[in-house]
Amino acid sequence: MKQKVAFIGLGVMGYPMAGHLANAGYTVVVFNRSLEKADKWSKTYPGTIAKTAAEAARASDIVFVCVGNDEDVQSVLCSEHGVLSGLAPEGIVVDHTTTSATLAVAMHEHSKKIGCFFLDAPVSGGEVGAQKGALTIMAGGSEKIYHRVEPLMACYSRHSEYMGPPGYGQLTKMV
């Protein structure tokens, strides 16, 4: 049985990435701050819309995040109705946003305190790569967790690589 996943952030990258997961047969719950994008996505792909990031997380084993910047990641994960308020223990967050390595380490530590896992996994390849499912992913965090989520990331990537401990995905992308 395929895992239930959430995708937070349906911008030019997240929209097709979430679509690739849905088309691969995963049960996908999406959340986007602007409901219009989520509505459009749900008319194109099989899946459901959550009213909050926490609601999406409650319905999922793995939560993928692809938003704008450090502040957006912190908000979508740590706010009152954020992912980490809804994710069950042992849940996994995979952050595809390009952020600072400092934030990635902080989110890893925060997730660990509540019994969850966090991978920083920024992507390279742009909008066309996301649409074609041909992104490159650099991941930092637990290698065991990386190997658990790699088959899902393969739905929208051509290549992914485990780079090392928390923050190393971000550091690799910066190089």
Task: From the candidates 4, 40, 144, 173, give the one annotated as an active-site residue.
Answer: 173
Alpha helices in the chain (DSSP H): 14-23, 35-44, 53-58, 70-78, 83-86, 101-113, 126-132, 143-153, 168-174
Nearest C-alpha neighbor of 65 from the set 38, 98, 88, 100: 98
DSSP at 87: P
Whether 113 is a known active-site residue: answer no
**CA Rg value for the chain:** 14
Positions marked active-site? 173
